[in-house]
Amino acid sequence: MNKYANIKINSRGKLSEVPYDYVFSISDFPLAIMPQLQRESPGWHHHDEFYEIVLVVSGKGTHICEKKKYPLQPQEILVIEPGMHHSYDTEAFSYYNVLVNFERLQLPLFDLKSTVGFQNLFVLAPQSHNAPNGKPLRHILPAEDYTQALQLIKKIYELQKTQQPGFQIGMVRFFIEFLQVICQATEKTPRDSFNSALKSQVISALAVNLAKHCHKHWTVEKMCKECGMSRSMLFGEFKKYYNVSPVLFLNNQRLRKVCVLLEKTDKDLEYIAGECGFANGSYLATVFKRTYNTTPLKYRRQQQNQQQLK
Mean pLDDT of the chain, nearest integer: 86
pLDDT value, residue 126: 86
Co-location of 169 and 24 in the same domain: yes
pLDDT value, residue 7: 31
pLDDT value, residue 1: 32
Co-location of 206 and 175 in the same domain: no
pLDDT value, residue 37: 85
Co-location of 72 and 102 in the same domain: yes
The 10s digit of each residue's pLDDT in 172-223 is: 999 999 999 999 998 866 544 455 656 777 888 889 889 999 999 999 999 9
Co-location of 56 and 157 in the same domain: yes
Instruction: Output the pTM of the full model.
Output: 0.63
pLDDT value, residue 15: 53
Q: Is there a contact between 95 and 141 (Cβ–Cβ < 8 Å)?
A: no
Co-location of 263 and 220 in the same domain: no
Range of the domain at 102: 5-193
pLDDT value, residue 245: 94
CATH number of 280's domain? 1.10.10.60
Co-location of 146 and 225 in the same domain: no
Co-location of 265 and 186 in the same domain: no
Domain count, the chain: 3
CATH number of 141's domain? 2.60.120.280
Ranges of the chain whose pLDDT falls below 70 = 1-15, 91, 132-133, 188-198, 310
Out of 193, 208, 223, a domain closes at 193
pLDDT value, residue 188: 66
Co-location of 260 and 184 in the same domain: no
